[in-house]
């Protein structure tokens, strides 16, 4: 057993040589060798020697990175895997495959399953299934309140001490709207040293809403979801954290003022972190013009000025991470009148391409930035000690290879996810994950999956 708890006898570990990759997209292509799940050499004579020996050895797998960018394995701290309860839309197995294809080596699975993940038995079953499939580390998030009902706190301590070692709690999908319950949750979370992730939505302001409250919703005659419904909870919960302790994480921020408030909170020294989704960085509410449920999401797509502020907030570190809020839904729940459509969209298999498009291809940022917001900071926030690590000798081989010049078109039907509700259908992207490596095991190889469909 090494320092990262990786047992070399674990059957999913193979020795690996990755040739022709550029760590963080920098420098000349080099060779990386991996033994027992740990990086043993990067470039230099040692790596070349192993690489040439590997060509003739059965025990060593060789991956040709084809000049691609080598990143630390991506970490998504906000996904919905739908098992238990809605396995016709996603399972831990299909969600794990979608994650691996998206470049992820760890995901945090939200608690709004059926039954809700509000006790150690459900959490352990999710954790153990993730382990059994072994495509990505699946860490269950426990709910803050029993049954997501917003009234009785769950047993943070029991869930933390379970096999699943739950250290993040969220009622996501619903807001913990009652201020007194949220205060008690923060106090309890502070004592247990666990993270609380809030879905910021004052439900009294969003009853019956299905689109951003603005000009588009006005013209279409749709009931609006005002920015203030999110921002008021962002402000409230930061003030509660300031006064009662705990670590607060704010899910899927969607407005300019939410980002401004977080900036203020951080300046005050409040223990707060925040995420933004790829769809809130890229898409806007005018997509709803044909009343298509595929574009319905919670919080809703907003206006161009919001996407611009969110990009800026991610660039300057106000918003810490990109998280997908991967939300698979069946066609019968999306292709209905927009009022009745379930909110949410697929995200795992398109997120890297979107972040690369907005930040790297535009020249706004480099691959180090992508590593920071999609791997290092997410792993730090949820304290995954073997994820989001530097690409260096002695570190765990959780890695992602990206082809930065690969033009492809997103198609829901071709995704590994069981559902197909992507808002990017037919959209062209120019970067693509080609390989994902979890503790030295190749969990995704684009050349193998290309051409396969559901
Ligand atoms: O659009 C959303 N869908 N937002 C959420 O917060 C929950 C998610 C879901 O579970 O479908």
Report whether residue 113 contacts ligand 1, using a CB cutoff of 6 Å. Answer: no
Report whether residue 293 contacts ligand 1, using a CB cutoff of 6 Å. Answer: no
Q: Which residues on adjacent β-strands are paired with residue 322? A: 276
Q: Is 325 annotated as a binding residue?
A: yes
Report the distance separating Cα 229 and Cα 80, nearest Å.
23
Q: Is 421 annotated as a binding residue?
A: no
Which atom from ligand 1 is nearest to the alpha carbon of 174?
6
pTM of the model: 0.96
Which residue lies with its CA nearest to atom 6 of ligand 1? Answer: 173
Q: Is 435 annotated as a binding residue?
A: no
Give the dihedral sign, CA 64/65/70/72.
Answer: negative
Report whether residue 443 contacts ligand 1, using a CB cutoff of 6 Å. Answer: no
Q: Pocket of ligand 1, candidates 250, 297, 345: which has the most ligand atoms within 8 Å of its Cβ, to mutate?
A: 297
- Apex 71 CA angle, 54 and 409, nearest 5: 100
**How is residue 55 annotated by DSSP?**
T
Torsion of Cα atoms, 87 then 75 then 373 then 253, to 10°: 30
CA dist 109 → 165, 201, 248, 426 (Å) = 13, 20, 17, 28
Contacts of 164 (CB under 8 A, 6+ apart): 120, 123, 124, 126, 127, 128, 139, 140
Report whether residue 80 contacts ligand 1, using a CB cutoff of 6 Å. Answer: yes
Range 210-216, long-range pairs (CB < 8 A, 24+ positions)? 210/296, 210/300, 210/338, 210/339, 210/341, 210/343, 211/285, 211/288, 211/296, 211/300, 211/301, 211/338, 212/285, 212/300, 212/301, 212/302, 212/303, 214/285, 214/302, 214/303, 216/285, 216/286, 216/288, 216/289
The helices-and-strands tally (H runs, E runs) of the chain is 15, 19
Q: If you measure from the C-alpha of residue 313 to the centroid of ligand 1, how many angstroms do you get, rounded to a whole number?
A: 22
Closest CA to 79 of 48, 51, 100, 57: 100
Residues of the chain with CATH 3.20.20.140: 73-392
Q: Is 80 annotated as a binding residue?
A: yes
Check residue 58 and give its pLDDT: 73
Which atom from ligand 1 is nearest to the alpha carbon of 251?
6
Q: If you measure from the C-alpha of residue 344 to the centroid of ligand 1, how many angstroms do you get, rounded to a whole number?
A: 5
Q: In what side-by-side order are the strands of the sheet with 137-140?
A: 74-79, 104-109, 137-140
Q: If you measure from the C-alpha of residue 422 to the centroid of ligand 1, how many angstroms do you get, rounded to a whole number?
A: 14
Neighbours of 46 (CB within 10 A): 14
Strands 441-445 and 432-438: antiparallel
Give the dihedral sign, CA 415/417/423/429.
Answer: negative
Report whether residue 173 contacts ligand 1, using a CB cutoff of 6 Å. Answer: yes
Q: Is 343 annotated as a binding residue?
A: yes
Which atom from ligand 1 is nearest to the alpha carbon of 252?
6
Q: Are 130 and 96 in contact (CB under 8 A)?
A: yes
Strands 30-35 and 38-42: antiparallel
Is 405 a known active-site residue?
no
Q: Pocket of ligand 1, candidates 76, 80, 85: which has the most ligand atoms within 8 Å of its Cβ, to mutate?
A: 80
Check residue 14 and give its pLDDT: 52
Q: If you measure from the C-alpha of residue 184 to the centroid of ligand 1, how many angstroms do you get, rounded to a whole number?
A: 25
Check residue 8 and give its pLDDT: 44
Report whether residue 299 contacts ligand 1, using a CB cutoff of 6 Å. Answer: no
Check residue 452 and give its pLDDT: 63
Check residue 454 and give its pLDDT: 55
Report the distance separating Cα 447 and Cα 438, nearest Å.
18
Give the CA radius of gyration of the chain.
Answer: 21
Which residue lies with its CA nearest to atom 5 of ligand 1? Answer: 173
Report whether residue 365 contacts ligand 1, using a CB cutoff of 6 Å. Answer: no
Each residue's pLDDT tens digit in the chain (454 positions)? 444 444 444 444 359 999 999 999 999 999 999 999 999 999 988 788 777 777 777 788 999 999 999 999 999 999 999 999 999 999 999 999 999 999 999 999 999 999 999 999 999 999 999 999 999 999 999 999 999 999 999 999 999 999 999 999 999 999 999 999 999 999 999 999 999 999 999 999 999 999 999 999 999 999 999 999 999 999 999 999 999 999 999 999 999 999 999 999 999 999 999 999 999 999 999 999 999 999 999 999 999 999 999 999 999 999 999 999 999 999 999 999 999 999 999 999 999 999 999 999 999 999 999 999 999 999 999 999 999 999 999 999 999 999 999 999 999 999 999 999 999 999 999 999 999 999 999 999 999 998 665 5
Report the distance separating Cα 136 and Cα 155, nearest Å.
26
Report whether residue 201 contacts ligand 1, using a CB cutoff of 6 Å. Answer: no
Contacts of 360 (CB under 8 A, 6+ apart): 25, 366, 367, 369, 370, 404, 431
The CATH T-level fold of domain 73-392 is TIM Barrel (3.20.20)
Contacts of 298 (CB under 8 A, 6+ apart): 173, 199, 201, 225, 343, 344
**How is residue 286 annotated by DSSP?**
G
3-state DSSP call for residue 182? Answer: helix
Residues 137, 237, 285, 325: which is the catalytic one? 325
Q: Are 247 and 196 in contact (CB under 8 A)?
A: yes
Report whether residue 318 contacts ligand 1, using a CB cutoff of 6 Å. Answer: no
Neighbours of 414 (CB within 10 A): 18
Report the distance separating Cα 2 and Cα 389, nearest Å.
15
Q: Pocket of ligand 1, candidates 325, 334, 418: which has the most ligand atoms within 8 Å of its Cβ, to mutate?
A: 325
């Amino acid at each position: 057993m090494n320092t990262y708890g990786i047992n070399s006898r674990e059957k999913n570990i193979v020795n690996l040589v990755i040739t022709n990759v550029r760590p963080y997209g920098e420098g000349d292509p080099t060779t990386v060798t991996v033994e027992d799940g740990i990086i043993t050499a990067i470039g230099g004579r040692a790596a070349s020697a192993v690489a040439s020996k590997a060509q003739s050895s059965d025990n060593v797998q060789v991956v040709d990175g084809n000049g691609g960018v080598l990143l630390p394995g991506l970490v998504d701290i906000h996904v919905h895997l739908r098992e238990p309860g809605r396995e016709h839309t996603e399972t831990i197995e299909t969600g794990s495959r979608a994650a691996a294809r998206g470049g992820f080596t760890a995901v945090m699975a939200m608690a709004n399953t059926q039954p809700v993940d509000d006790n150690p038995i459900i959490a352990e079953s999710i954790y153990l299934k993730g382990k059994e499939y072994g495509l990505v580390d699946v860490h269950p998030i426990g709910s803050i309140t029993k049954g997501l009902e917003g009234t009785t706190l769950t047993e943070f301590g029991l869930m933390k001490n379970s096999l699943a070692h739950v250290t993040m709690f969220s009622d996501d999908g619903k807001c913990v709207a009652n201020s007194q319950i949220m205060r008690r949750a923060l106090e309890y979370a502070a004592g247990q040293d666990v993270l609380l992730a809030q879905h910021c939505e004052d439900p009294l302001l969003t009853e019956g809403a299905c689109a951003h409250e603005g000009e588009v919703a006005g013209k279409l005659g749709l009931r609006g979801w005002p920015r203030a419904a999110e921002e008021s909870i962002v402000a409230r919960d930061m003030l509660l954290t300031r006064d009662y302790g705990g670590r607060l994480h704010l899910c899927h921020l969607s407005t300019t003022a939410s980002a401004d408030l977080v900036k203020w909170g951080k300046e005050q020294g409040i223990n707060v972190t925040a995420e933004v989704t790829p769809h809130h960085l890229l898409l806007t509410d005018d997509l709803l013009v044909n009343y298509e449920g595929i574009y319905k999401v919670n919080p809703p797509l907003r206006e161009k000025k919001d996407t611009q502020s969110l990009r800026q907030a991610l660039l300057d570190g106000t918003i810490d991470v990109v998280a997908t809020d991967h939300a698979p839904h069946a066609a019968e729940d999306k292709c209905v009148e927009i009022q009745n459509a379930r909110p949410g969209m697929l995200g795992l298999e398109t997120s890297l391409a979107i972040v690369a498009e907005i930040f790297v291809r535009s020249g706004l940022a480099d691959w180090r930035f992508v590593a920071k917001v999609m791997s290092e900071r997410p792993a730090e926030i949820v304290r995954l000690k073997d994820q989001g690590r530097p690409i260096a000798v002695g570190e765990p081989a959780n890695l992602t290879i990206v082809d930065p010049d690969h033009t492809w078109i997103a198609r829901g039907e071709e995704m590994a996810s069981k559902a197909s509700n992507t808002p990017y259908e037919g959209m062209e992207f120019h970067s693509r994950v080609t390989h994902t490596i979890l503790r030295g095991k190749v969990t995704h190889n684009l050349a193998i999956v290309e051409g396969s469909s559901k």
